Structure 1
Amino acid sequence: MRIIIFKRPSWRNLALWGILLLVLISYRENVTAVFSGKLKPIYSATVTTPAIGLTFDISWGEKTAEPILDILKREGVHATFFLSSPWAEKHQALVQRMVKEGHEIGSHGNRHIDLNNLGAGEIEKEIATSQEVLERVSGQKVRLIRAPNGAYDNKVISVANKLGYRVIQWSVDSLDWKRPGPNAVINNVLNGLHSGEGAKAGDIILFHASDSAPDTIQALPTVIERLKLKGYTLMPVGKLLSEASGTWPPESNLTNNSAAPSPKTTNN
């Protein structure tokens, strides 16, 4: 008769299995994402018109937003302003001016923190808190959101989508917050950070109207003028999406939230 002897596993093997188990637990959300498919925000749109989305983020500051509004009014251009709710609460007259002059209000969250570091319940609270303030102050339905610092993951997009939002990133970055000088900001938008990557139809341009980006005031008139000379029309993201046949990347096309939002007035 053959006797089978089972060896007790060594401490080294047990430690290795323990480490593997911890890795799998720590990255279970990423592992799930591999099989369920990564969700993506909207970086740009597929359009047949010479339309470009113009956007500005504001989370703090007193000096930059008003001059930018003056420039947009003078140039007859409308944009989407992604606002943090504390800033909007503090600057209600400016928010109401944005709406009066035809601009679209989007959410830039409540606290300026990375939403992907929060649980789903906390993300929902951040978005809902911001929404209450922005809609009350602006009188618009707010259904576009740009995550603070552009930080997102499947969880952020899923929660935002559940709440009726579309998450908006950008395909052209002015890098104005780095204060590189007006000429560099102009070049970043018109020519791109790499050759051939300048703004074109369907792109979404990222500017800031916080005081962290003083170069934008000087750069913006030239950017608008040169894009107009190329035949482009600058517009809010909501309008850009209403003219789009699709969005990029493909993972940003969420079937249960495919209708492009419009800045409709609330009943407040």
Structure 2
Amino acid sequence: MKVIIMRRPPWRNLVLWGVLLFVFLAYRDNVISVFSGKLKPIYSANVTTKAVGLTFDISWGEKTALPILDILKQEGVHATFFLSSPWAEKHPELVKRMVADGDEIGSHGNRHIDLNTLSPEEIAKEITSAQAVLERISGQKVRLIRVPNGAYDNKVISVADRLGYRVIQWSVDSLDWKRPGPAAVVNNVLNGIRPGAGVKPGSIILFHASDSAPDTIKALPEVIKALKAKGYVLMPVGQLLSEATGTWPPESNLKENGNPPKADNTPAGNTDKTQPGVPSP
């Protein structure tokens, strides 16, 4: 009796490996995290509505923040501003304007350095020293942080979580700091840097309000109007998270421990005159 063994054509193997390679490259961060136990910051939220988080980073500059605040107020939109503490000390009037307008204050750290290069004790000091400044000027409780340069590792996220913070990244990058022109900034947000990577329900959008991103002033009104026309509601990240059923990726769903950092004895809302800050890079 002759046994016939059916072999899969070689081209099918190539197609299968090609699909597996594509999946790995497209979702490599999530695949790696499953096997390595890697902690993750929050990139987006799982929501049942068309809510999206609007965020701005500021670490330096004199010209861009005020026009952006005027645009947000005119459009009736609120956002989260991740501020470095030296910039906030230099511009307390703008921080107070953000609060008065209904915007949320988050931390962008103290020194604009990669926190993952520091020891846990140094990371904690960077976070709590920035918190003391931001809470004193804004009067808000600050518990969201976007780490400088987006540089994180398990150590950074663990320390931030222990101090009661949630680390926020982004799922939609405007790339406004590259100064590609207002039309490109609009396209990066609405359609994405890669096809299909634009705004979706639960997205967190990254803009900058530093002077490195002058295109944002012209692009922002068009982005807001286009998203509103599609039924999206733009809001601060804190509000987005309060409406979410979870966060993405799954490794970002850390249990809130309720242990706020204690930087000093200065109560939030203190209006004492601030000291001059050191310019960020």
SS class of match (2:194): coil
Query: Hey, what does 1:82 align to over in structure 2?
Result: 82
Query: Which aligned runs of 4 or more in structure 1 are off by greater than 4 angstroms?
Result: 33-36
d(CA) in 2 for partners of 1:213, 1:97: 20
1:35–1:225 Cα change, 3 Å: closer
CA distance in 2, matches of 1:103, 1:121: 31
The match for 2:126 is: 126
1:36 shift after superposition: 7.0
Q: How many residues align?
A: 230
Distance 1:131 1:110 in 2: 9
- Considering only aligned residues, what root-mean-square deviation do their CA atoms show, in Å? 1.5
Q: Which residue is 2:63 aligned to?
A: 63
Residue by residue over 1:204-257, the C-alpha shift from the partner in whole angstroms, topping out at 9 and shown as x without a partner, is: 000000000000000000000000000000000000000000000000000234
Q: Gapped runs of 5+ residues in structure 1?
A: 1-32, 259-264
Trace 1:165-204 onto structure 2 (pairs within 5 A).
Answer: 165-204=165-204
1 CA distance for matches of 2:230 and 2:34? 41
The code of the aligned residue for 2:107 comes to: S
Say if 2:137 and 2:269, in contact at 8 Å, map to a contact too.
no
TM-score by length of 1: 0.83
Deviations, residues 102-132 of structure 1 (Å, cap 9, x unaligned) = 0000000000000000000000000011000
Q: Within the alignment, does 1:256 sit opposite 2:269 as a pair?
A: no
Deviations 1:147-175 (A, max 9, x none): 00000000000000010000000000000
TM-score, length-normalised on structure 2?
0.80
Note closer, same or farther for the CA distance 1:128–1:141 as it changes in structure 2 (3 Å cut). Answer: same
Q: Note the C-alpha offset of 1:266.
A: 3.8
Once residues 254 and 197 of structure 1 are traced to their aligned partners in structure 2, the CA distance between those partners, rounded to angstroms, is: 25
Question: What letter is aligned with 2:148?
Answer: P
Match of residue 117 from structure 2: 117
Match of 1:217 in 2: 217
Contact 2:138 2:269 in 1 (8 A): no
3-state SS, counterpart of residue 255 of structure 1: coil
Tell me the CA shift for residue 34 of structure 1.
8.5
- The residue identity in structure 2 corresponding to 1:90 is K
SS at match of 2:142: coil
Question: 1:1-268, aligned counterparts within 5 Å?
Answer: 37-257=37-257, 266=268, 268=270
C-alpha change, 1:135 and 1:249, in structure 2 (3 Å) is same
Amino acid in the other structure paired with 1:249: P
Asked if the contact 1:50/1:233 (under 8 Å) is kept, the reply is: yes
Instruction: Work out the CA distance in 2 between the residues paired with 1:249 and 1:218.
Output: 32
For residues 249 and 124 of structure 1, what CA distance do their matches in structure 2 show? 24
- Structure 2 residue runs of 5 or longer lacking an equivalent are 1-32, 259-266, 271-281
Equivalent residue, structure 2, for 1:21: none
Distance 1:197 1:62, change over 3 A: same
User: Does the 8 Å CA contact 1:166/1:257 hold for their aligned counterparts?
Assistant: no
User: In percent, how many aligned pairs have the same letter?
Assistant: 79
Structure 2 counterpart SS, 1:256: coil
Structure 1's 87 and 69: CA in aligned 2 closer, same or farther, altered over 3 A? same
* Letter paired with 1:77: V
* 1:180-216 CA-partner distances (Å, limit 9, x unpaired): 0000000000000111111011000000000000000
Structure 2 residue identity aligned to 1:109: G
